[in-house]
Structure 1
């Protein structure tokens, strides 16, 4: 507003906008592949309960492999414990092997019933783990987005560049986390309803595919240094799972509304921030 168009880093803004395209497409492709794999190896096997017990441990191992890779590469934990990506990969592979072997014993002892219900029963447990990870990743990403402007404002106002690196930054992150939690408790049900049932009908196997596609996309994009939007990735993954069952399984009218809302976000928030800023300038 004050500096004109030249003060905007258009390249970075373009990267953010591109993430809104790359994220959902990547999430959709991976979720599609995962769910089609479950359909092929489990549901279409003729004996889905037995196939679930056979391939279930593999999906357990893959789940913990992705989670461990993400934790070690996206947090300071990897910097503290390891000296390079090779060590992280070796440890994550070890986690994969151990969790797969553990899964063989755990699934082998489980009474999961028969038929398709048995498959959903097994993946219900897996989805709890993947959903928690996606929620963690989503929260971390959105808290950073919300708190970054506040950190810059405080740094400028107090003329103290150490705020971002000091313990005070943790209070800012806690504030952002509290805001997200409050949002989920109040209006979050609307988003849950849209993603959970309005785009396409989700079951535990489909939900697992959505979470796995989202987690993998976030991990790969982070390693490649690509901008990523967790929210858009989840939406894309849900659409991908729906497309795995055919185009008629996806409510295209809901998808159109979501795409329109994405396109509306930048100009709407831009206009609103200009109005608020100009109003404050007049008052103060």
Structure 2
């Protein structure tokens, strides 16, 4: 029972870190265009992170992404030490990339850590659901590509629509529109990222039900997840967002390409639409990858040279490394500490 409580606390800590690590995704453009101050921006984003809870629970009526994450490892092979090791690895990678100012994926480090610890425990790849992990890994490339294409289409369409507008007035309009687009993206961030932690907690409770039924604290499936879990996860990510992540804000808001209010609206809207699509498909994706692809799409329409491709290449390398490196860290944690927890 003690280890289960520790895992739930660690999961919420990861969720909090995810909030300030990924805060840049929804506020970078709105801060870099000076529509809101950094403090106002994080409050704005945190509010809509939490609004996502009510949308998921009462409008969507379920937490499909949480269900997908909980099934990364085959249920009978999940143990609490595996989940503990995966969470420690995910927290380590998130803090390291935050310190270095690299906008990596909190989603993929969580998946990589979970799978890596399971493989280390059972010394076999058959314990993981390869089809689920392959689909998630594919979206390392698909999500930013979709965000980029949607952003390019929106950019061309809005430029044509506003071609006769007074530039000064148009800039003023788009500053106001950025409040809406940032809110839409923050809702997508909350919907996507909070559910990943819900999925990990669900996996821990399912493992408890299978291996320690005498405790009486387990569940049989994600549909049995207590309401407090969802509420706690959405609250934690909202509080984390309020803490900000200024190193990554600088990378996202200025280093990839220079962003104007018009381009901020397009990037955030394209990113939000991509996240809503993946919510419908029940695929956990990286909000970081999505908004990065959208920002690249906006800059590419302006001119290809407007995108700093050297920065983009470094980000891509970090994205590709996230799952395998997180898996290796989780394996190391399991071999050094996980076995002591049985």
Query: What's the TM-score, normalizing by structure 1?
Result: 0.68
SS of the aligned residue for 2:140 comes to helix
Q: Pick from 191, 198, 206: which aligns with 1:147?
A: 198
The verdict on how the C-alpha distance between 1:37 and 1:222 changes in structure 2, with shifts beyond 3 A counting, is same
The verdict on how the C-alpha distance between 1:190 and 1:183 changes in structure 2, with shifts beyond 3 A counting, is farther
- Indicate the residue corresponding to 1:259 in structure 2: 316
Deviation of 1:274 (Å): 1.0
Alpha carbons 1:28, 1:239 under 8 Å: kept: yes
Deviation of 1:265 (Å): 0.4
Gaps of 5+ in 2: 1-119
Give, in whole Å, the separation in 1 of the partners of 2:327 and 2:126. 15
Q: Pick from 186, 190, 193: which aligns with 2:247?
A: 190
For each residue in 1:108-132, what CA deviation from the matched residue of structure 2 results, as whole angstroms up to 9, or x when unmatched?
xxxxxxxx22111111111111211
Alpha-carbon RMSD across the aligned residues, in angstroms, is 2.2
SS of the aligned residue for 1:200 comes to coil
- Indicate the residue corresponding to 2:219 in structure 1: 161
Alpha carbons 1:210, 1:234 under 8 Å: kept: yes
- Indicate the residue corresponding to 1:110 in structure 2: none
Q: Pick from 32, 38, 45: which aligns with 2:158?
A: 38
SS of the aligned residue for 1:212 comes to helix
For each residue in 1:123-153, what CA deviation from the matched residue of structure 2 results, as whole angstroms up to 9, or x when unmatched?
1111111211211111221111123112211
- Indicate the residue corresponding to 2:134 in structure 1: 14
Deviation of 1:177 (Å): 3.1
Q: Pick from 200, 222, 237: which aligns with 2:257?
A: 200
Q: Pick from 121, 137, 149: which aligns with 1:2?
A: 121
Number of equivalent positions: 214
- Indicate the residue corresponding to 2:83 in structure 1: none
Deviation of 1:210 (Å): 0.7
Alpha carbons 2:219, 2:225 under 8 Å: kept: no
Deviation of 1:30 (Å): 1.0
SS of the aligned residue for 1:244 comes to helix
Deviation of 1:252 (Å): 1.0
SS of the aligned residue for 1:2 comes to helix
- Indicate the residue corresponding to 2:145 in structure 1: 25
- Structure with higher Rg: it is 1
Q: Pick from 152, 158, 168: which aligns with 1:117?
A: 168
Alpha carbons 2:178, 2:261 under 8 Å: kept: yes
For each residue in 1:196-222, what CA deviation from the matched residue of structure 2 results, as whole angstroms up to 9, or x when unmatched?
111111111101111221222233444
- Indicate the residue corresponding to 2:178 in structure 1: 127
Give, in whole Å, the separation in 1 of the partners of 2:339 and 2:290. 40
The verdict on how the C-alpha distance between 1:227 and 1:177 changes in structure 2, with shifts beyond 3 A counting, is closer
Q: Which moved more, 1:216-225 or 1:26-35?
A: 216-225
Q: Which moved more, 1:210-219 or 1:256-265?
A: 210-219
Alpha carbons 1:15, 1:227 under 8 Å: kept: no
Deviation of 1:31 (Å): 0.6
Deviation of 1:190 (Å): 2.2
For each residue in 1:6-27, what CA deviation from the matched residue of structure 2 results, as whole angstroms up to 9, or x when unmatched?
1111111110011111111111
Deviation of 1:162 (Å): 5.5
The verdict on how the C-alpha distance between 1:277 and 1:187 changes in structure 2, with shifts beyond 3 A counting, is farther
The verdict on how the C-alpha distance between 1:154 and 1:127 changes in structure 2, with shifts beyond 3 A counting, is same
Deviation of 1:34 (Å): 1.0
Query: What's the TM-score, normalizing by structure 2?
Result: 0.57
